[in-house]
């Protein structure tokens, strides 16, 4: 099931794949607890917060926005994009 969000503009790469951003959110510097949210497609599964990027949005900013939208959590100290991973799939 896909959620429809009004006024949403989807951003695609040159090959037609939706550009997405996600991040790992740790509770503290010990990195022994990570934030997970339930999947809207598979409610019995846990995933890291993430979603589609908006026009002219950088991956790090998109990831921080998605964390707030999905978990109502904000970051005090974002470290930026540690690794960019390109995974391309079709439904």
Active site residues: 69
Helix locations, the chain, DSSP H? 59-71
Sequence-distant (6+) residues with CB within 8 A of 11 are 18, 19, 52, 53, 54, 55, 57
Distance of CA 26 to the CA centre of its chain: 14
Rounded to whole angstroms, how far apart are CA atoms 1 and 11?
Answer: 20
């Amino acid at each position: 099931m896909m959620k429809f969000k009004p006024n949403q503009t989807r951003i695609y790469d040159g090959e037609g794949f939706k550009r997405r951003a996600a991040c790992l959110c740790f509770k503290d510097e010990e990195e022994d607890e990570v934030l997970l949210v339930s999947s809207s497609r598979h409610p019995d599964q846990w995933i890291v917060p993430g979603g589609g990027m908006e026009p002219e949005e950088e991956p790090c900013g998109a990831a921080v926005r998605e964390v707030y939208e999905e978990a109502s959590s904000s970051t005090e100290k974002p470290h930026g994009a540690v690794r960019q991973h390109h995974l391309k799939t079709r439904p």
